[in-house]
Amino acid sequence: MKGCLLLFLVLIISIIFFNFIDSKYINIFILIAYSIFFLLYLYKYKNNKKFENNIVEEKDTKISCSNSNKEINKNAKFCRYYDIKTAYKSLTEKFKFINKKHFYYFITAILIIILFVFGCIITNLKNQKLAYSTGLKCFENKDWHCVIENFTELNYKDSDKKLKIAQYENYIIKGNNKLKNKLYSDALYRYKKALELQPNNKELKIKIDSLEILANKEQKDNAIRQKQQEEVFRKNEIKTKISDTAIYQIPTKFGQGYDETIKRYGITTINRINKLAPKAAELVAQNPNCTKVIAIDVADDKSTRNSITFFADCGDIDNIRDIQRFYVNEKEIKENAIPKSIKEQAKSIDNGQYILMCEAEIKARLNFPSTYKANIISSRVLKASLNTVVTVPFKAKNAHNLELKNKGTCYYNGTTLTDINIQEEL
C-alpha cells in the first residue's frame, strides 16, 4: 500500500506542476499513464497475496514454491512468479544498491523522468506553434518587425522562408527612410543587406549602383566636415593656452611710448609684427611642454626689418623657475613649424658638445689661440629654462708672453650663442 500511496502522491504533484505550463494534453497523458501503472501495481499485489501460502516444504535453509518448484531463501515471506523473480535477481546483480524495498520506487522514478522529458518536448512544440501562429498573423499584416521577432531561430514549417521575406522588406523600408533623409551611406548599407537575401534582384542592383556615387560623395563631405570640426576644436584648445595679456598690438603712431621701436622697424614692419604675433603664439601653444603662453614679444637682438623673430614665455608667472622660453621666426611661422623651447634644445645637446662650442668661441677671440690650454675638469654647463650657460676656465699667453689664468662664459639659446664674456682670473 505504501507504493500505491507514493504513486498517487507523485501523480498529484505532476499534475500540479504541469498545470503551470497550461497543457491539457500533458495532464491527460500523465493521468492515463499513471492509471495504467497503478492498475498493474494492484494486479501484481493481488498475485503476491495469491501465492503467500504456496510454501510446501522446508529443506535445511531452502524452501520450495509449489508453483515454480524453485528454491528460495527461508526468510522470504511468499513466492513470486518465476519471471518476476528472475528479472529482479538479474537487476539486483547489476545494481547491487537496489533492494526489494526500493525496486518499485526505482521504476517509478524512471517513469517520472520520462514523463518530464515528454512534457518538455510537448511544451516546446506548443511554444513553437504559438510563435508561428503569431508570426503568421504579423506576416499577413506586413508587420515585418513582428515577423522577425517571432520567426528568428524558430525553424517551424515555412518560417525560414517567411523570415527571409520579412528581413528583405524590413531592410528596404529602412533603406527608403534613410534615402528620404539623404543619409546615402546608411541607405546603401541596408540595400546591400537586402540584396544578400535576394541576390537576383536586378532592380535593386541598379539602385545600389546609382546610390554608391551619392554615398561616396557623402563620405567625402563628411570627412571634410569632420576635419573642419577638428580644426575648430584644435584652435579653440590652443586659444585656451594663450593668456589674454600675452599678445598686444604695437602702436604705429609716435608719442605712445614706442617711438624707438617705430624708428627701428618702421610702420610697415610693425604692421607685419602685429599680424604675425598671434600666429607665433599659437605655434608656441601647440608645443606639449607649453602649459600657457604668458608673454610674447619681438626679440630685438635676433630681428631685422626683413626678418622678425619672436620670443615667447610659457608657464606660471608665480613660478618663475618653471618658465620656458621659445623663439620662433617668420620662416617657422610660414611653415607652421612648432618650435622647441631652449630647454628642449639644450637637452638634445650633451655637455661635452657645449664645452667644445664654447672653446671654439673663446679661441676665436684670443690674440694667441695656439697658447690656449683648457681646464676641462673645472668646466661647467648649466642648462636653465631661459638659456644655457657654459663656463670654461683656461690659460693663454698675452702679448708679453706671460701665461695668464682666464675664464670664458658662453650664453646659448639652444645652439645659438647669444653672448660671451672672457675675463682674467686673479
Quick: pLDDT tens for 22-70: 444 555 565 566 666 665 555 555 555 444 444 444 444 444 454 444 5
Q: Give the pLDDT of residue 314.
A: 92
376 falls within a domain? yes
135 falls within a domain? no
**Same-domain pairing of 314 and 372:** no
Domain that holds residue 285: 259-340
Using the CB atoms, write b or e for 332-341: b if 16+ within 10 Å: bbeeeebbbb
Q: Give the pLDDT of residue 330.
A: 92
* Vertex 303 angle, CA 301 and 307, to 5°: 160
Separation of alpha carbons 257 and 260, rounded Å: 8
**Same-domain pairing of 121 and 159:** no
137 falls within a domain? no
Last residue of a domain, one of 171, 206, 221: 221
* pLDDT tens digits along 203-235: 999 999 989 988 898 889 889 999 999 888 888
Q: What's the number of domains the chain is made of?
A: 4
Residue 71 β-bridge partners:
64
Contact 425, 409 (CB under 8 A): no
276 falls within a domain? yes
Q: CB count, 10 Å around CB of 1?
A: 6
Last residue of a domain, one of 97, 125, 153: 125
Q: Give the pLDDT of residue 410.
A: 94
**Same-domain pairing of 290 and 352:** no
**Same-domain pairing of 85 and 175:** no
Q: Give the pLDDT of residue 135.
A: 87
Q: Give the pLDDT of residue 5.
A: 54
Last residue of a domain, one of 206, 221, 236: 221
180 falls within a domain? yes
Q: Give the pLDDT of residue 157.
A: 78
Ranges in the chain, pLDDT < 70: 1-106
Q: Give the pLDDT of residue 311.
A: 92
